[in-house]
Structure 1
Amino acid sequence: MKFRYAYQKVVDLKSNEKTQAEWMLSAAVGELQAQQRSLEQLFLDRSNAMAEIQSEMANTASVVKLQELQYYMDYLEVCILRKTGDVKRAEVNVDKKKSHLTGKMLDEKVWLKAKEKAKQKFQHEMLLREQNELDEMATVRFAMKAR
């Protein structure tokens, strides 16, 4: 007789939920990395703009050119502030997805443990059944020899 777990579909469902939670976490981490790369690019752009301002000041640049660069620097600062907020939101999202995954993993583990206990109980019952059959066969043989 083969072991069949009555709640196997629930175990499968919990496993699928865990897999989906892993995918969601992976997507959130990918989004966080994209936001961080974008922020790094903004910092690089700001650094380049600052270098260009210093270069223009050394070459006695026009006031208009310096104003344009200053406006661009101000724009970059605003972008950096926004992107920093985006990165923080992405980090919070990653933390939520990690927490969600942890819950799904725990849920799956509980169901797998219940399945394992049911399997052990089934195996124990099968061993007892086999032992009873062997005992009965031995009793019948003993009774046959005793006649």
Structure 2
Amino acid sequence: MPFKFAFQKIVDLKTSEKTQAEWTLSSAVGELRSQEQSLHQLRLEKQRMQDRISAESAAQTTVSQLMIYQSYMEHIDHKISEKYKAVTAAQNNVDRKKETLNLKMMEEKIWLNARDKAKQRFMFEMLKKEQDALDEMASVRHLRTL
């Protein structure tokens, strides 16, 4: 008689929930990487603009051009500030997803341990029944020889 765990569907559900939590964590990490890459691109753009301003300041530049550059630098700074907030939000999301995954992993482990303990009890009972049957057969044989 094979072992059948009464709560196997719960174990399967917990495993599925853990897998889903892994997927959502992976997605959140991907979003974080995307936000970090976008922030990096904005920083590079700011650096290029600063280099351009430095190069052109040696040459004759009009006040209107400087004002345009200043306005663009403020715009990039604002975008960088917004991107920092987005990166922080993405990092917080990753942290929440990690916590959820840890919880799901613990729940799955609890149910897997329960299943393992039930299987051990089942095996113990099966071995005990088998041993009792062998003992009974030995007793009957012994009585027949008398």
Q: What band does the TM-score fall into relative to the shorter chain? A: over 0.9
Amino acid at match of 2:97: K
Amino acid at match of 2:79: C
In 1, distance between residues paired with 2:67 and 2:54?
Answer: 13
In 1, distance between residues paired with 2:113 and 2:128?
Answer: 23
3-state SS of the aligned residue for 1:115?
Answer: helix
Amino acid at match of 1:124: F
Equivalent residues of 1:56, 1:66 under 8 A apart: no
RMSD, aligned CA: 0.6
3-state SS of the aligned residue for 1:5?
Answer: coil
Amino acid at match of 2:123: Q
Amino acid at match of 1:19: T
Equivalent residues of 1:42, 1:80 under 8 A apart: yes
Equivalent residue, structure 2, for 1:82: 82
Question: Are 1:40 and 2:12 counterparts?
Answer: no
Give 1:1-147 correspondences, 5 Å limit. 1-146=1-146
Counting aligned pairs with the same residue, the percent is: 49
TM-score (norm 1): 0.98
In 1, distance between residues paired with 2:60 and 2:32?
Answer: 42
1:16-57 residue CA offsets vs partner (Å, 9 max, x unmatched): 000000000000000000000000100000000111111111
Q: After the TM superposition, list the runs of 4 or more consecutive aligned residues in structure 1 that deviate by more than 4 angstroms.
A: none
In 2, distance between residues paired with 1:67 and 1:50?
Answer: 13
Amino acid at match of 1:2: P
In 2, distance between residues paired with 1:11 and 1:98?
Answer: 21
3-state SS of the aligned residue for 1:6?
Answer: coil
Equivalent residues of 1:32, 1:90 under 8 A apart: yes
Q: Which runs of 5+ in 2 are unaligned?
A: none
In 2, distance between residues paired with 1:129 and 1:91?
Answer: 56
1:94-118 residue CA offsets vs partner (Å, 9 max, x unmatched): 0000000000000000000000000
Q: Which runs of 5+ in 1 are unaligned?
A: none
